[in-house]
Structure 1
Amino acid sequence: MSDTLYDICVVGAGSAGLTVAAAAATFGQRVVLVERGKMGGDCLNYGCVPSKALIAAAAHAHAARAGAPFGVHATPQVDYAAVHAHVHGVIAGIAPHDSVERFEGLGVTVIQADARFTGPDVLEAGGRTIRARRFVIATGSSPVVPPIEGLAACDPLTNETLFDLTALPARLAIIGGGPIGCEMAQALQRLGAAVTVVEGAALLGREDPDAAAVVREALSAEGVRLIEGTGVARASREGEEKTLHLADGRTVTADAVLVAVGRRPNLDLGLEAAGVAATAKGITVDKRLTTSNRRIFAIGDVTGGLQFTHVAGHQASLAVKAIVFRLPVTYDPALMPRCTYTSPEVAQVGLTEAEARAADPKASVWTAPLSGNDRARAEGATAGFVKLVLSGRGKLMGATVVAPTAGDIIATYALALAAKVKPATIASFTPAYPTLSEAGKRAATSYFGEKLDKPWVRKVLGVLKRL
């Protein structure tokens, strides 16, 4: 077909690409959106939405079992086919917002086909030649299936196939103890599977070790078998039974195997023809999210950075500001929060304690355990804490939260870090009582309490008392 000149060509209809396409079209740009798979990308179809819907179902099952300390006794009956229907019902409810019809209604040209660059400003897709003033690559990432001998014969599940199951496997082995592995281990154990997690290093190895320890204890208490510090040497299958043979000689037998060891960027786009530099980790971008071809931006998982929907959405908004409004933008990954949705949740923004101490030997840590929080005690959820990390000069460097609603609580500290709020402000603000948010205030208050516990301060107070 004949060439069409667009203002913006977006490649990938996940959360990042859809945000750019919708915003740019709203501001009068001529936009073409290319997607080879499902509209909504990983988040809607295989990631955030189905996983959180599954976790919600599992939470109801767990609440029934865990009511005895509150005087409530119940035994849940899990209908996994109905759980599957709930998960896909949630997806279906959100799908119209991400649909071809909605975006065509916004004036976006949608092409559902593979895309490939044939030049620095030319893309081929669905038999069409697309020319655009600016391109935005938002092709996301795909799950990695490690080259373990015999694993392919075990038909391993990934996050792209897990949510298609209409029956719960009686025994599930999970390779990988990162966020996805831990979330799904707890959820599926709560729904009735016997789950074993095999992690070659340490569970949630990226997180604060104190935070990971709380999750480790929670998973173990609920019956999840955790094997850390050893990898899978090979796998075998006999009929429907799959066996993981571990490097230390142990074996794990299961009815299904889920692989959750990481993701790789989707780079099969003819990037060389476009003059776009990339490594195996992802497309190389600067702080403006531009590639080595200045007319091409890259956002989201494909850049190899933080793999979170909210990060992709934030990067998309920056790309729109830069392309549509020609405004200077800077992406700062240090300000991006993250959360693992186990129970309790683990959330982080900024530097962890170890990272902060490596950057500043005078850094200090102030922790408020949930055991000292009235709301946590009322709900029987005292396993957790809020930890604030301050520099030697008293500047907030990071925050770690382990709590039932850590993903919500961390927002306070993400804002504080971005706005450079001083610890004194955190200590002086008044959260509602009783809430878990009070724990963060208590952590900040303890910092000032120690600063004031000095001999000279006591002398001053003694003088003031006599006035």
Structure 2
Amino acid sequence: MQTIQTDVAIIGAGSAGLPAYRAAKAAGVSALLIEGGPHGTTCARVGCMPSKLLIAAAEAAHAAAHTAPFGVHVDGVIRIDGREVMQRVKSERDRLVGFVIDSVNSIPSGDKLSGYARFIDNGLLEVGGHTLVRARSIVIATGSSPVIPPQYRALGDRAIVNDDVFEWSDLPRKIAVVGAGVIGIELGQALAHLGVDVTVIGARGRVGPLTDPVIKAYAEQTFRKSFRFEARATVESVVREGDEVHIGFRNEAGALIHDTFDYVLVTAGRKPNFDRLALENTSLVLDDQGVPVYDPLTLQAGKHPVFIAGDANGVLPLLHEAADEGRAAGANAARFPHVTPLIRRAPISVLFSDPGIAMVGARHGDLKPGTFATGEVSFEDQGRSRVMLKNTGLMHVYVDRQSRQFLGAEWIGPDAEHIAHLLAWALQMKLTVDTMLEMPFYHPVVEEGLRTALRNAVAALQAAELQAA
């Protein structure tokens, strides 16, 4: 078994690991990139990009089926060829993965090592059973994996996760989606718009990432127009019979419902990939989930020269956050013991549904009642939205009552992914609602709806001031 000495060892060559490697090299130290699984990043292989390819096909199908209100009539039946849909998803996915692999291939061979890493002690790794790596600092960027509860594991290949969807050669006839989070809503609606019979089974009324009860209720009713949505259900039985799955679940009214599906798509969350690391061989302090206790700003685990970045730390499982964390972790690992806190960007979250869901800044559920005013706009009568017949949506913006500073927003509506960026920039610049209203709003655009919400927030602030007086 060979032994390698390096300043920084990075475990995982994904969306956090690659930036960590580049940051360490930029700091002038030696770095070794270790990867045991396939290269290409979760985002490119089974996450952001293939899901958006499937969603793009769904949007095309949905638009083609809803032209009549414009006076545009599509003669004949709209035919969705599942094989062609999945062929494009996979071919474009592979092209995008290829770009990432090209980037990895450009890294000098002496800076890469293939194999799964496990700790022998605090600073010693064994990789693939063939190499020992002694590192001054270590970055853990091992990503995360879908969680499959025990009751679904017995279903074998009839229980799938999002990774499996993008390996399909054709679309199924009927599917149950367990979990109403971001992945469940996105894929569930996309499959429904592509002609699949979809039932989304949620719990506790969750609708994506939303915490504002008014927006959540509106979104729930909206999605029920696309697929069967049981947002407050309890699954009581799951049985495989041949190539079908029988599910018994109790709905919100307490009625027991039985149905049969081709597959169960399990979207019950993700867990950090620490299983192979043998962290018990280190002196790292672990929490009750086996995750190293670390500083979310410096990403450092205790006082050890170990840094945790990306989905592995479970903070913000988003590509741009993983990249930021990777760069910070790589730089801190290279300069240890001199570490610098990560300055995070304004929080932004987007769910690529139709209409879209977005959240920026503070969540409604985290705000203290009485400290903020809420501005509201409905997109149902918003000019440009109605022109495009995309006039479904409701937005809440939150403004601090004392400073008048914009705090955050939650909403469902047209062009949500684009409006989210405007609000994230405003938040990061610490703008007040008054300054935001001084900005230009062209006419007619969907963003005018945002202006209405901001004006409504000002009116709410004035009402609160009068009440206080």
* Distance in structure 2 (CA, Å) of the matches to 1:158 and 1:309: 19
Match of 1:345 among 356, 374, 382: 356
* Distance in structure 2 (CA, Å) of the matches to 1:330 and 1:273: 28
Partner of 1:216: 220
Deviating runs (4+, > 4 A) in structure 1? 324-327, 449-456
Q: Which moved more, 1:16-25 or 1:85-94?
A: 16-25
Q: How many aligned positions are there?
A: 451
Instruction: Tell me the alpha carbon deviations over residues 437-460 of structure 1, each in whole angstroms, 9 at most, x when there is no partner.
Output: 22222222333356568999xxxx
Is the 1:427–1:442 contact (alpha carbons within 8 Å) kept by the matching residues of 2?
no
Q: Does the residue aligned with 1:282 lie in a helix, a strand or coil? A: coil
* Distance in structure 2 (CA, Å) of the matches to 1:228 and 1:40: 34
* Distance in structure 2 (CA, Å) of the matches to 1:130 and 1:386: 52
Q: Does the residue aligned with 1:160 lie in a helix, a strand or coil? A: helix
Structure-to-structure mapping, 1:44-123, within 5 angstroms: 44-74=44-74, 75-99=77-101, 101-107=102-108, 109-123=111-125
* Distance in structure 2 (CA, Å) of the matches to 1:97 and 1:338: 25
Is the 2:220–2:231 contact (alpha carbons within 8 Å) kept by the matching residues of 1?
no
Match of 1:145 among 148, 156, 167: 148
Q: Which moved more, 1:442-451 or 1:373-382?
A: 442-451
Q: Does the residue aligned with 2:166 lie in a helix, a strand or coil? A: helix
Is the 1:38–1:45 contact (alpha carbons within 8 Å) kept by the matching residues of 2?
no
* Distance in structure 2 (CA, Å) of the matches to 1:455 and 1:102: 56
Partner of 1:240: 243
One-letter code aligned to 1:17: G
Structure-to-structure mapping, 1:324-403, within 5 angstroms: 324=334, 328-330=340-342, 332=344, 335-356=346-367, 359-393=368-402, 394-403=404-413
In structure 2, the CA distance between the partners of 1:123 and 1:445, relative to structure 1 (3 Å rule), is same
Partner of 2:182: 179
Q: Does 1:263 align with 2:273?
A: no
Partner of 1:465: none
For residue 376 of structure 1, report the CA deviation from its aligned partner: 0.9
* Distance in structure 2 (CA, Å) of the matches to 1:39 and 1:17: 11
* Distance in structure 2 (CA, Å) of the matches to 1:142 and 1:453: 48
Could you tell me the percent identity over the aligned residues? 29
Between 1 and 2, higher relative CO (CA 8 Å, sep ≥ 6) is seen in 2
* Distance in structure 1 (CA, Å) of the matches to 2:423 and 2:31: 36
CA RMSD of superposed structures (Å):
2.4
Is the 2:176–2:261 contact (alpha carbons within 8 Å) kept by the matching residues of 1?
yes
Q: Does the residue aligned with 2:245 lie in a helix, a strand or coil? A: strand
Instruction: Tell me the alpha carbon deviations over residues 20-49 of structure 1, each in whole angstroms, 9 at most, x when there is no partner.
Output: 223433554422111111112321111111
Match of 1:416 among 414, 426, 441: 426
One-letter code aligned to 2:283: G
One-letter code aligned to 1:211: I
In structure 2, the CA distance between the partners of 1:282 and 1:439, relative to structure 1 (3 Å rule), is farther
Query: Normalising to structure 2: TM-score of the pair?
Result: 0.89
* Distance in structure 2 (CA, Å) of the matches to 1:212 and 1:256: 27
Q: Which runs of 5+ in 1 are unaligned?
A: 457-467
Is the 2:375–2:458 contact (alpha carbons within 8 Å) kept by the matching residues of 1?
no
In structure 2, the CA distance between the partners of 1:445 and 1:321, relative to structure 1 (3 Å rule), is farther
* Distance in structure 2 (CA, Å) of the matches to 1:263 and 1:112: 24
Query: Normalising to structure 1: TM-score of the pair?
Result: 0.89
Q: Does the residue aligned with 1:386 lie in a helix, a strand or coil? A: strand
Is the 2:239–2:245 contact (alpha carbons within 8 Å) kept by the matching residues of 1?
yes
Is the 1:7–1:133 contact (alpha carbons within 8 Å) kept by the matching residues of 2?
yes
